[in-house]
Chain A
């Protein structure tokens, strides 16, 4: 099994990591770079809990080979700690009790951040579509939808 060295820009920092052919992006992010906001749920693309941004697009990091990410730009929740939009969304999630067990929350925040970049006043339907790839096992969807709508609105204030 040949390992290769890839370079990734992760949360703004250039990182070099050695990866095997079947290692996935999630493996590198969690196990090599210790970015634990990225969770592993189903490993088949059904739950979306591993969502991160790659080259500006929301993707499931369990469905990407790390070796295919050579030279790409990856953004996780850790990289948005000081981002104003993310802070508003987090505040809104807290205010609306949108986290129960919290396991899906990082991915929900990434998906809502991606939506907030494009839309300042999303409809309920738009929010549902944007969040449709992420499962919340606690069934707290309505609080999440309210939080996202509020967080997006506040962005352009």
Chain B
């Protein structure tokens, strides 16, 4: 810890040149709300910190364009909460942001930082998975796009190469009759790492009861990594939403979750909550779609 250096680049091009050469030893730091305590506990010991927090004009924005929404990597959670884009149908984002950390954390914590931290504790990851977000990753060689489900590859592991920086999170507006929602359980309402969190985007057919498509993401699916519950999604497609369908879907969910116990919660309790959240979100989203359509 004592030998760490902090590099403050003059502009984004300088940052990308720096990380291209020093990538292996570098940890990118934005606001540092996650990284600073982890460095102090020596869970990570980078030899160089690359400070990207000064690129506010390049990487901090919430934009609506081409049938979707783009969030700059340095957009804070407070920016997200203050945006009017996430009321209504995209409320999954607002609901997650509202209970994210606490005001002091939301004022500085960034969307990009949350995604790059890549742990089950990062509330935005399931949300962005449910929305099918794509991540724009830049390096001095250019840019590429990575779907978020391929970006989080393990606990605290991402698909970022050592020479790359996450620049933007983007998702398209879902089509058809849809609604979204988020549920999270912790020991208290705020400033808490979730035991279970679930984000959903549900789209119904014109009959307002048959599922056209569903996107369901949890903070943990297998072990401690956020992912989509793809078997449950597949099961729901084409079926009419009824009490029976929901009970069946809960059983399918149980087969694809490989949950673990830890000091926060037992695996059995996590499973119980995940099933309750599945039912709750299916009912909540379908109800909202019907109300909107009437």
A binding-site residues for B, Cβ under 8 Å: 1-2, 4, 21-22, 24, 43-46, 48, 51, 57-60, 62-65, 67-68, 111, 114, 129-130, 132-134
Known A63-B36, A132-B190, A133-B190: A58·B6 in contact at CB below 8 Å: no
Closest 10 CB pairs of A and B: A133-B102, A21-B6, A57-B107, A44-B37, A132-B190, A63-B33, A133-B104, A60-B104, A132-B102, A58-B104
CA distance A58 to B106 in the complex (A): 9
**A51 partner residues in chain B, CB cutoff 8 A:** 104
**B20 partner residues in chain A, CB cutoff 8 A:** none
Report whether B53 and A58 are in contact in the complex, using a CB–CB cutoff of 8 Å.
no
Residue among B4, B29, B101, B102 with max Cβ neighbours from chain A (10 Å): B102
Number of interface residues of B (CB under 8 A): 29
**A21 partner residues in chain B, CB cutoff 8 A:** 4-6, 49
Q: List which B215-254 residues lie within 8 A (CB) of chain A.
A: none
**B29 partner residues in chain A, CB cutoff 8 A:** 65, 68
**B33 partner residues in chain A, CB cutoff 8 A:** 45, 60, 63
Number of residue pairs spanning A and B whose beta carbons lie under 8 angstroms apart: 86
Q: Mark B12-37, 1 if CB is under 8 A from A, else 0.
A: 00000000000000000101110011
Q: What would 7 A/B residue contacts be, using CB atoms closer than 8 Å?
A: A24-B36, A63-B32, A65-B6, A65-B32, A67-B8, A133-B105, A133-B191
Closest CB-CB distance, B261 to chain A, in whole Å? 22
CA distance A24 to B2 in the complex (A): 14
Write the chain B residue with the least CB distance to A61.
B104
Mostly, the B contact residues are: loop
Known A60-B105, A132-B103: A68·B51 in contact at CB below 8 Å: yes
**A24 partner residues in chain B, CB cutoff 8 A:** 36
**A63 partner residues in chain B, CB cutoff 8 A:** 31-33, 36-37, 105, 108
Report whether A45 and B37 are in contact in the complex, using a CB–CB cutoff of 8 Å.
yes
B binding-site residues for A, Cβ under 8 Å: 1-6, 8, 29, 31-33, 36-37, 39-40, 49, 51, 53, 78, 101-105, 107-108, 189-191
CA distance A59 to B77 in the complex (A): 13
CA distance A64 to B32 in the complex (A): 6
Closest CB-CB distance, A97 to chain B, in whole Å? 24
Q: Which of A43, A64, A129, A132 contacts B31 (CB 8 A)?
A: A64
CA distance A129 to B78 in the complex (A): 13
CA distance A67 to B6 in the complex (A): 8
Report whether B32 and A48 are in contact in the complex, using a CB–CB cutoff of 8 Å.
no
Known A63-B31, A68-B51, A132-B191: A22·B4 in contact at CB below 8 Å: yes
**A22 partner residues in chain B, CB cutoff 8 A:** 1, 4, 39-40
Report whether B108 and A59 are in contact in the complex, using a CB–CB cutoff of 8 Å.
yes
Closest CB-CB distance, A69 to chain B, in whole Å? 10
**B189 partner residues in chain A, CB cutoff 8 A:** 132
Known A1-B4, A21-B49: A130·B103 in contact at CB below 8 Å: yes
